[in-house]
């Protein structure tokens, strides 16, 4: 375990179980915590991330709602303004668009427009991204929409242990948080997760592995592909899991790139105006004199997320990450 995690007993769990266990932990820890969303009660949510919580904590703490994303987010915002610590669930990121009005007009702006009169302790949990061969509106990776919105933190875990610490920190934060859960890795593997309560910082990256030749920046479900790519290339690769997409861990990114002199940005979202574009601009602005090669992006394509028959061709995998690493490593001015 990293120094960030507490010592003591651990349990081997997958990512969606880490979500469920952390929600239960926070419901027990703080009476003001409330969950709400469609089908999250007796059914336990579309991915069973809230399974058993309705029975343990009751209908006033785990609130089953109608299928109305705008209503779910508006109700959550009102509850947060009345002093409750609210965790709404939207079933898929592609279903978030009906809630965009409440997100923009209320959730992101309330603290500022009231001169600090109201906090907004609200953590929106959203399964996001592709990889499960689902249908339209179920596989998008539109994190840039939220990163572009001031007043909101955007958090994206990649492992079960990260999920527990980041979700607990998000729920305890007085800022609104978009908590993006990479559903492709909900059940992709298990990890020993500390049973004791802990939180992780909401403004720092995680160094997945240290290296000296090239930096790979990634997050969410793509991190494991970055690790696989690093194993197959002839280079000493440093991988940063950004894990907090807003605020960006700027110093972590620049320190790593200044050390290695090369960078690949590897993400699932569409390339144009994806977060990789901002990261590339950031590095060019503050570390271009340290670069030994142009930055390269390995990303999704500028198309709507395809149907399940061609999903694998769309999603950037370890081979595309490895190709990008090798292209940067072999670059000559």
Check 138, 225, 304, 308 and give the catalytic one.
138
Query: Do residues 221 and 40 make contact, with C-beta atoms less than 8 angstroms apart?
Result: no
Residue 314: HSE in the Cβ half-sphere, 13 Å Cα cutoff: 24
Mapped to the 3 state alphabet, what secondary structure does 9-42 carry?
Answer: CEEEECHHHHHHHHHHHHHHHCCCEEEEEECCCC
Residue in the structure block whose two tokens are 């994206």: 156
- Active site annotation includes 138: yes
Query: Do residues 290 and 318 make contact, with C-beta atoms less than 8 angstroms apart?
Result: no
Residue 176: HSE in the Cβ half-sphere, 13 Å Cα cutoff: 30
Q: What is the C-alpha separation between 238 and 259, in angstroms, rounded? A: 10
Q: What angle is formed at CA 175 by the lines to CA 169 and CA 177, rounded to 5 degrees?
A: 65
Cα torsion angle, 220, 221, 224, 226, sign: negative
Residues 6 or more apart whose CB falls under 8 angstroms from that of 146 comprise 152, 154, 178, 180, 245, 246
Q: Across the strands, what pairs with 300?
A: 270
Point out the residues that are catalytic: 138
């Amino acid at each position: 375990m990293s120094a960030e995690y507490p010592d003591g007993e651990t349990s081997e769990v997958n990512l969606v179980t880490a979500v469920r266990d952390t929600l239960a932990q926070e419901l027990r820890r703080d009476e003001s915590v409330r969950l709400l969303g469609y089908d999250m009660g007796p059914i336990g949510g579309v991915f069973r991330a809230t399974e058993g919580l309705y029975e343990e904590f009751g209908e006033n703490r785990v609130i089953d709602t109608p299928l109305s994303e705008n209503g779910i987010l508006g109700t959550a915002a009102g509850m947060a303004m009345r002093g409750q610590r609210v965790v709404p669930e939207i079933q898929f990121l592609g279903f978030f668009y009906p809630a965009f009005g409440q997100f923009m007009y209320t959730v992101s702006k309330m603290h500022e427009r009231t001169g600090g009169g109201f906090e907004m302790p609200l953590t929106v949990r959203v399964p996001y991204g592709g990889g499960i061969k689902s249908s339209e509106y179920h596989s998008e990776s539109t994190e840039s929409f939220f990163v572009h919105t001031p007043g909101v933190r955007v958090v994206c875990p990649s492992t079960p242990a990260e999920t527990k610490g980041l979700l607990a920190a998000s729920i305890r934060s007085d800022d609104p948080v978009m908590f993006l859960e990479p559903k492709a890795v909900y059940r992709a593997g298990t990890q020993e997760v500390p049973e004791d309560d802990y939180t992780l910082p909401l403004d720092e990256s995680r160094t997945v592995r240290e290296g000296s030749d090239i930096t790979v920046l990634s997050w969410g479900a793509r991190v494991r592909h970055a690790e696989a790519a690093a194993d197959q290339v002839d280079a000493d690769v440093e991988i940063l899991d950004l894990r907090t997409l807003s605020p960006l861990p700027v110093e972590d990114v620049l320190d790593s790139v200044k050390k290695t002199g090369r960078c690949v940005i590897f993400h699932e979202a569409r390339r144009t105006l994806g977060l990789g574009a901002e990261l590339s601009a950031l590095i060019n602005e503050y570390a271009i004199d340290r670069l030994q090669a142009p930055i390269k992006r390995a990303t999704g394509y500028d198309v709507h997320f395809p149907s399940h028959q061609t999903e694998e061709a769309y999603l950037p995998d370890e081979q595309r990450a490895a190709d990008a690493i090798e292209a940067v490593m072999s670059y000559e001015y």
